[in-house]
């Protein structure tokens, strides 16, 4: 009889293991990036808690960008999802291959739609991959998708893209060097001042900077930055430009990564910057992402449940009924053993 119980026990254990593995694969992972000083983040968090009560297979991951580790992790997500216009904005919710940035009325419905979209789980999606192996998603995804089937049109010379600030000594030296040099008609410098004082130019430069950093999988914003061909340089030393021009002039850079990024985004961001600048000056023009306009209409629902969805829900989930069977049979087995002795 003891052998029979042992066999039953092993069969149930295997069933539970398979069941738990299945539940894990079917988990819907939601990643919420927030700041402790962000009121819309707190409201979004409450709404998110309310929405997941009917979905026991949802696992929540809260990451604050107020510390270096959390901010760095947000940059990984931004690179993986190719976020440009919304870079560094919070709250930011990532579910599967989709994301929502900012707060707006009706965000709860948007969240629920994505939960239903990934009802079979988010395993293997961009969000899960970048959370567990950021170096894999950033390198592999960009090499396979970012530059795919893009051909740059325009001049055939050497293009060098420089990002700098007005408050940086090496930046000033670099810009003066560029402006005073005789580089020839086939060498083209594109200068982006991210702190020029002109709101339109700053927005354009900042968005272009984000696009370049994303494409080159770089998270640090240290100036000056120089992008040429498929390479990236930071800092400045007097002889570097001459060496750079000499080296890259003899190498084909027409369809290089830096040219592709500039060709793909320049016109789009010029238009975006003009419209966004008008918006920030108080006009009624709206641009994407529209959540920037919604923050004056925030509300707090005091009836929202804030009890987190924990692993304890597995005990009441229909997927976990074998756990109860195991408990009951364990009790029976212990009673039988006690009687026999």
Residue 95 in this model has a pLDDT that exceeds 90: yes
User: What pairing do the DSSP bridges indicate for beta strands 158-164 and 187-193?
Assistant: parallel
> 303 pLDDT band (50/70/90 cuts)?
very low
Instruction: Report the distance separating Cα 37 and Cα 41, nearest Å.
Output: 8
Q: What is the pLDDT of residue 23?
A: 43
Is the pTM of the predicted complex or chain greater than 0.75? no
Residue 125 φ/ψ, nearest 5 degrees: -85, 170
Residue 261 in this model has a pLDDT that exceeds 90: no
Please indicate whether residue 63 or residue 298 has the higher confidence score (pLDDT).
63
Q: What is the pLDDT of residue 32?
A: 94
Instruction: Report the distance separating Cα 50 and Cα 264, nearest Å.
Output: 40
Residue 101 φ/ψ, nearest 5 degrees: -120, 135
Of the candidate ranges 43-47, 57-61, 285-289, 311-315, the one whose mean pLDDT is the lowest: 311-315
Q: Can you tell me the mean pLDDT for 121-131?
A: 85
**Tens-place pLDDT, residues 15-42:** 544 444 444 568 999 999 998 888 889 9
Of the candidate ranges 46-60, 67-81, 267-281, the one whose mean pLDDT is the lowest: 267-281
Q: What is the pLDDT of residue 59?
A: 92
**Tens-place pLDDT, residues 194-211:** 999 888 898 889 888 988
Q: In what order do the strands lie in the sheet with 92-95?
A: 58-64, 28-34, 92-95, 98-101
Burial 143-177 (b: 16+ CB within 10 A, else e): eeebbeeeebeeeeebbbbbbbeeebeebeebbee
Q: Can you tell me the mean pLDDT for 131-148?
A: 58
- Please report the sign of the dihedral spanned by the C-alpha atoms of residue 272, residue 276, residue 278, residue 279: positive
Q: Can you tell me the mean pLDDT for 63-78?
A: 83
Q: What is the pLDDT of residue 10?
A: 53
Q: What is the pLDDT of residue 308?
A: 34
- DSSP secondary structure string for all residues of 50-69: HHGGG-TTEEEEEEETTSHH
Chain-wide mean pLDDT for the chain?
74
Q: Which stretches of 43-144 are assigned E, i.e. beta strand?
A: 58-64, 92-95, 98-101
> 298 pLDDT band (50/70/90 cuts)?
very low
Q: Can you tell me the mean pLDDT for 48-73?
A: 88
* CA 123 to each of CA 118, 290, 313, 320: distance values in angstroms, whole numbers, following the listed order: 9, 30, 20, 20
Most confident of 4-13, 174-183, 213-222, 287-296: 174-183
Closest CA to 293 of 83, 105, 42: 105
Q: Is 85 helix (H, G, I), strand (E, B) or coil?
A: coil
> 307 pLDDT band (50/70/90 cuts)?
very low
Q: Can you tell me the mean pLDDT for 236-246?
A: 90
Q: Can you tell me the mean pLDDT for 86-106?
A: 85
- 220, 76 Cβ separation under 8 angstroms: no
Domains and CATH numbers, the chain: 2-146+310-315 (3.40.30.10), 158-292 (3.40.30.10)
* CA 337 to each of CA 11, 40, 122, 329, 330: distance values in angstroms, whole numbers, following the listed order: 19, 59, 44, 12, 10
The residues with which 64 forms a beta bridge, in sequence order, are 34
- 35, 41 Cβ separation under 8 angstroms: yes
| Other Cβ atoms within 10 Å of 295 Cβ, number | 12
> 274 pLDDT band (50/70/90 cuts)?
confident
Q: What is the pLDDT of residue 227?
A: 95
Q: Which long-range contacts (CB under 8 A, 24 or more apart) does 302-308 make?
A: 304/46, 304/47, 304/49, 304/50, 305/49, 305/50, 305/53, 306/46, 306/49, 307/49, 308/49, 308/60
Q: What is the pLDDT of residue 71?
A: 81
Instruction: Report the distance separating Cα 227 and Cα 248, nearest Å.
Output: 12
């Amino acid at each position: 009889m003891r052998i029979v119980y042992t066999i039953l026990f092993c069969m149930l254990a295997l069933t539970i293991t398979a069941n738990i593995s299945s539940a894990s694969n079917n988990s819907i992972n939601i990643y919420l990036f927030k700041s402790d000083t962000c009121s819309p983040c707190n409201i979004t968090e409450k709404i998110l808690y309310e929405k997941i009560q009917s979905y026991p297979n949802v696992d929540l991951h809260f990451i604050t960008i107020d510390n270096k580790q959390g901010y760095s992790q947000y940059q990984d997500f931004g690179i993986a999802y190719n976020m440009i216009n919304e870079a560094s904005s919070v709250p930011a919710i990532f579910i599967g291959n989709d994301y929502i940035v900012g707060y707006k009325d009706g965000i709860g419905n948007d969240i629920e739609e994505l939960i239903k979209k990934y009802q079979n789980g988010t395993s293997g999606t961009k969000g899960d991959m970048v959370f567990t192996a950021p170096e894999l998603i950033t390198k592999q995804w960009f090499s396979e998708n970012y530059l795919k089937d893009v051909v740059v049109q325009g001049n055939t010379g050497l293009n060098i893209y420089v990002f700098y600030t007005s408050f940086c000594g090496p930046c000033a030296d670099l810009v003066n060097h560029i402006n005073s040099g005789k580089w020839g008609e086939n060498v083209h410098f594109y200068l982006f001042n991210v702190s020029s004082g002109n709101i339109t130019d700053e927005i354009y430069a900042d968005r272009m900077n984000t696009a370049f950093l994303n494409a080159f999988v770089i998270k640090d914003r240290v100036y000056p930055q120089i992008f040429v061909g498929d390479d990236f340089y930071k800092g400045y030393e007097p002889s570097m430009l001459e060496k750079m021009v000499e080296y890259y002039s003899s190498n084909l850079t027409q369809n290089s990564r830096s040219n592709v990024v500039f060709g793909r985004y320049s016109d789009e961001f010029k238009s975006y910057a003009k419209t966004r600048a008008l918006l920030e000056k108080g006009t009624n023009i709206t641009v994407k992402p529209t959540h920037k306009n919604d923050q004056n209409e925030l509300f707090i629902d005091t009836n929202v449940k804030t009890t987190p969805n924990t692993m304890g829900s597995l005990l009441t989930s229909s997927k976990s009924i074998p756990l109860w069977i195991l408990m009951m049979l364990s009790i029976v087995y212990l009673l039988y053993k006690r009687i026999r002795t």
